[in-house]
Structure formats: C-alpha cells, structure tokens
C-alpha cells in the first residue's frame, strides 16, 4: 500500500468511526430522553367504579386517578374508567376485580362488609376517625398492613384513594324531634351506620348512588344519606325531602378506595407499582380538597335557592346514636381474628387522637366560629 492509499484509508476509517460514534451517542441520548426501551411495552387496565359516569367528586376522582396513572407512566400503564353499570353493576366491582374481569376498582370499602366486617374500618366507622386521622392511621398507624391482609384473601391490593370529609346526617321527609321518630323509618345508610339505625328501630338499606333518588321518590325509603352538599345537590334530593340534618355521626371522614387485582399488580415492574401507589396517595389529597372547596358553596345554594331546612339532630338522638354505635363496635372485637386486631388498632389510634384533635382542630374551629359568627 502506498502512502496516498494509506492516508485515504485512514481518513475514511476516521469518518466512518466518527459517524458510528455520533450515531451511538445520538441513540443513547434519545433513549435516555424517552426512557428505557421497555417504554414501548404498554399495558391497558380497566377501572370499574360504583359511581355514575362523571359524577362530581367521586366519579371525577376516579377519572382523575386513571389519568394521573396514565400520565405518570408516560402511557406505559393506561387506565380506562367504566362507570357503574357500564361493565358490571355498581356493587359488583369487588367480585369483578377479584376474579380478574377488570384490573382495578374504585369505591368505598364498607360496601363489601357482607364479605368481612373488617372492611368498614377503611371507609367509615360511626364516631370514628376524621379524614386526616384516617389517613394517618392507614399510612402511619398500621392500618395499611391490616387493609392489605384483608383484601389479599380475595386476591386484591387496596389503596386509600380519596376522602369526602365529614358527611351530613341525611335527608328526611319529616322532621326528627325524638329518637322515636326513627322507629319504623326506612333509610338508605350503608356500613356500620346502617347497623346503628337497626339498633334504634329503623330499617337500613345499602343502595348504590344511582339507585337512591328513585327509591326516595317512589317511597321505597323515607330518608337517605349520601355524602354532603356538593354531591347531594347534584342528585337533587332537595326535590323530595327538605329537612337536611347534621352532624353525620356515621361517616366523619369517609375513605374512598382503589383496589387492584393483586396478581396483576404483582406482575408490574417496580416503577409502575410505585406510580400506582403514588397516584392513589395524590388523589386522596386532591379529592378531599375538591370536596372542601365545593361543599360550602353548594350548601348555600341548597338553602337560598331550593329552600332546604338545615336541621341539627336533637341531643337525645345523638346520645342514642352514640350508645348504639359503641355496642356495634364492641361486638366486632368478638368477630374473627383479623377484625378483632383491626378494631383494636383502630380504637387505640382513635383514643390517642382525641386529645390532640380536641386541642388543635376542635379548639381552633370553636375559636374561629366565635370570632366570625358564620350564618350556618
């Protein structure tokens, strides 16, 4: 090889080598910018809910959670929401996800108390935990471990994914003057609150949200609770019953849940598992904020525009609620081992929280009420 051929060959090799190096760097940079090659693998999950489509707060919370998971995963895990009745009945979602017909469910755990009484504790317990306290118990007080244990028996992985805050006492056709007015009363109330009603002589029914208005309108039930002003305004209960009672003894801070088919969850890579967990945590805070923002405005509309009568339960009624609630809860200690351990954990946390909540939250709210003297 002469000198000219050698130099030409060397130059060509350098150009090719440089081009190859550039291509490799470019490919690496592109891959880094877009994420690992696994991003091309996409999974689509179906979320079935107990809520009517686009229903304010609850239905929109499910939609927001699905969108959050989809966006956080950059589309690697896409979640599509199916409202109550579009894929399975509202109260059939637990079984659908357990059996693998859908991957995710969105509802409230007390709807499944027929499977285990322990599920009440992760949604609402009469005279139980506020929204902030429930979050603290589940995430930092041992509640999640008990929640996981209960749902694992049905092949599910549960998450706290929302909260309505304190709920109202309900809508009544007739005024409640004494505890005797509950004798024979037919009222929609799920969970342990419904059991309390039965103890004081009422009949309690567990109806899905979309079934409540027809039942109240037809006279099948005489009264109902649902959530609070924002949701209750949307359902139009004021058209049938004008007496709106507070406080809601039965649901002081109702947890809303997302549960996932455990086999499907376990099969996800760890980063997608973390995304599902983080998205549920974020939505738990977002939903509570949404309700707190909307309820005050909706309450004013109910009173000023629709002539709703805001009523406070009489003291003897509240005392009867309290007595019956403690009886119902005490009986759970004699149930199965998991329910007993969950009740003991819940009760211990509640007892420890009462002192601090009285000084901090209740103390401040009482002072603010005296200073500002709100209209309601």
Domain boundaries, the chain: 39-165+254-291
CA angle 359, 333, 344 (to 5 degrees): 40
The CATH class of 39-165+254-291 is: alpha beta
Angstrom distance (rounded) from CA 228 to CA 61: 16
Q: Is the confidence at residue 358, as pLDDT, over 80? A: yes
The mean pLDDT value for 282-294 works out to 98
Reduce the DSSP state of residue 104 to 3 states and report it.
Answer: strand
pLDDT at 41: 82
- How confident is the prediction for the chain on average, in pLDDT? 90
pLDDT single digits (tens) 257-279? 999 999 999 999 999 999 999 99
Angstrom distance (rounded) from CA 158 to CA 43: 20
Angstrom distance (rounded) from CA 192 to CA 179: 18
Angstrom distance (rounded) from CA 304 to CA 373: 18
Angstrom distance (rounded) from CA 219 to CA 61: 31
pLDDT single digits (tens) 130-151? 999 999 999 999 999 999 999 9
Q: Scanning the structure block, which residue is given the tokens 């059996």?
A: 99
pLDDT at 47: 98
Q: How many CB atoms lie within 10 A of CB 136?
A: 15
Ranges of H-type helices in the chain:
3-34, 58-72, 93-98, 131-140, 143-152, 191-199, 209-218, 229-235, 262-267, 270-304, 315-332, 337-357, 363-372
- Name the token pair of 279: 């998205």
pLDDT at 3: 38
At 333, is the pLDDT very low, low, confident or very high (cuts 50, 70, 90)?
A: confident
pLDDT single digits (tens) 84-122? 999 999 999 999 999 999 999 999 999 999 999 999 999
- Name the token pair of 85: 């009745």
At 375, is the pLDDT very low, low, confident or very high (cuts 50, 70, 90)?
A: low
Q: Is the confidence at residue 246, as pLDDT, over 90? A: yes
What b/e sequence results for 37-73 when a residue is b if at least 16 CB atoms lie within 10 Å of its CB, and e otherwise? eeeeeeeebbbbbbbbbebbbbbbbbbbbbebbbebb
pTM for the full predicted model: 0.86
Reduce the DSSP state of residue 54 to 3 states and report it.
Answer: coil
Q: Scanning the structure block, which residue is given the tokens 């059939």?
A: 92
Angstrom distance (rounded) from CA 15 to CA 328: 82
The lowest-confidence range among 2-16, 302-316, 318-332 is 2-16
pLDDT at 39: 47
pLDDT single digits (tens) 224-240? 999 999 999 999 999 99
pLDDT single digits (tens) 12-47? 443 334 434 334 433 333 443 444 444 458 999 999
Q: How far is CA 150 from CA 93, 156, 336, in A?
A: 17, 9, 11
Q: Is the dihedral of CA 324, 330, 331, 337 positive or negative?
A: positive
What b/e sequence results for 217-229 when a residue is b if at least 16 CB atoms lie within 10 Å of its CB, and e otherwise? eeeebbbbbbbbb
What percent of the chain has pLDDT above 90?
Answer: 86
């Amino acid at each position: 090889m002469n000198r000219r051929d050698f130099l030409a060959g060397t130059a060509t090799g350098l150009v090719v080598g440089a081009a190859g190096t550039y291509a490799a760097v470019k490919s690496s940079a592109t891959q880094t910018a877009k994420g690992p090659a696994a991003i091309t693998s996409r999974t689509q999950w179906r979320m079935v809910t107990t809520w009517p489509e686009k229903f304010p707060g609850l239905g929109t919370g499910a939609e927001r959670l699905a969108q959050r998971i989809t966006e956080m995963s950059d589309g690697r895990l896409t979640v599509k929401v199916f409202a109550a009745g579009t894929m399975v009945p509202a109260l059939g979602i637990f079984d659908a996800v357990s059996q693998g017909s859908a991957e995710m469910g969105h509802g409230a755990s007390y709807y499944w108390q027929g499977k285990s009484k322990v599920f009440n504790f992760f949604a609402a317990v009469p005279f139980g935990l506020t929204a902030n306290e429930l979050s603290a118990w589940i995430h930092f007080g041992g509640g999640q471990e008990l929640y996981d244990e209960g749902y694992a028996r049905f092949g599910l992985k549960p998450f706290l994914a929302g909260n309505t805050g304190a709920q109202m006492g309900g809508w009544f056709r007739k005024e409640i003057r004494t505890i005797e007015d509950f004798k024979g009363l037919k009222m929609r109330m799920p969970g342990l609150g419904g059991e309390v009603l039965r103890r004081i002589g009422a009949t309690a029914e567990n109806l899905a949200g979309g079934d409540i208005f027809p039942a109240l309108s037809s006279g099948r039930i005489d009264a109902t609770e649902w959530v609070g002003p924002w949701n209750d305004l949307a359902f139009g209960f004021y058209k049938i019953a004008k007496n709106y009672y507070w406080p809601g003894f039965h649901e002081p801070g109702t947890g809303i849940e997302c549960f996932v088919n455990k086999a499907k969850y376990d099969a996800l890579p760890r980063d997608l598992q973390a995304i599902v967990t983080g998205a549920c945590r974020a939505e738990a805070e977002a939903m509570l904020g949404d309700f707190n923002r909307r309820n005050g405005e909706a309450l004013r509309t109910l009173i000023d525009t629709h002539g709703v009568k805001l009523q406070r339960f009489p003291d003897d009624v509240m005392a009867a609620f309290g007595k019956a609630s403690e009886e119902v809860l005490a009986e759970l200690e004699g149930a199965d081992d998991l329910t007993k351990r969950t009740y003991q954990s819940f009760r211990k946390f509640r007892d420890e929280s009462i002192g601090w909540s009285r000084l901090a939250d209740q103390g401040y709210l009482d002072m603010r009420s005296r200073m500002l003297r709100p209209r309601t």
